Amino acid sequence: MKLLLVGATGLVGREVLRLALADARVSQVVAPVRKALPAHPKLDAPIVDFDRLPPDAPWWQADAVICTLGTTMKVAGTRRAFMRVDHDYPLAVARLALAAGTPAYALNSAAGANAASRIFYNRVKGELERDLEQLGFASLTCVRPGLIGGEREQARAGEGAALRVLRVLGPVLPRRWRINPAPRIAGALLEAALAAAPGVHIVSSEQLA
């Protein structure tokens, strides 16, 4: 199958790309990025501006999309900038892919995603899930990890300390509070894209622990 991956340079996106390139079921990965990726026979990595995505690019037509785009308030700087990366870009990708005939979309969302939440982060994630569902993909899967385990290129304030505590307490904590390893999240996203089960599906943090 042909897979369209957006967010290939992030923690989870890198794992999805690694798994997809090694998977015999995947014939090609198209990964639109802002900066070049290492070459691979199965990889097409066009350089794009996410504010000006090319609507007529042939690679929008795929068998499935996996979206792992995301940022933090610290990096984004403002709520509007955060909303653009975590909501507007994934939704724009979805619209273009669906218009080209791509039937399945798998999203790396977040535990607590809720369009009615008072917490800004959770509300943005929930609004994206709601807006994606309204588009009408034949298959939509929202993977909702909690705290993600793995090595980021840029450390996030407070996250390292939380990960250390959870690693110690993990065996005695409820599954929904445990660390979700990036490779496991990536595997869930890839399997959802490959299976393309009809309807809307949620993969909870408990299932990723």
- Summarize the chain as % helix, strand, coil (round to 5): 45, 15, 40
Q: How far is CA 114 from CA 118, 140, 154, 176, in A?
A: 9, 16, 27, 16
Q: Which residues pair with 180 in a beta bridge?
A: 148
Residue 149, H or E segment: strand 148-149
Which residue among 2, 35, 89, 121 is the active-site one? 121
**DSSP, res 171:** G
Q: What are phi and psi of 200, to 5 degrees?
A: -105, 130
Nearest CA to 42 among 8, 70, 68, 67? 8
Amino acid at site 16: V
Which residue among 2, 35, 42, 125 is the active-site one? 125
Using CA atoms, how far apart are residues 50 and 153, in angstroms rounded to an integer? Answer: 20
105: annotated active-site residue: no
| Cβ atoms 68, 13 nearer than 8 A | yes
Using CA atoms, how far apart are residues 56 and 59, in angstroms rounded to an integer? Answer: 9
125: annotated active-site residue: yes
State the catalytic residues.
121, 125
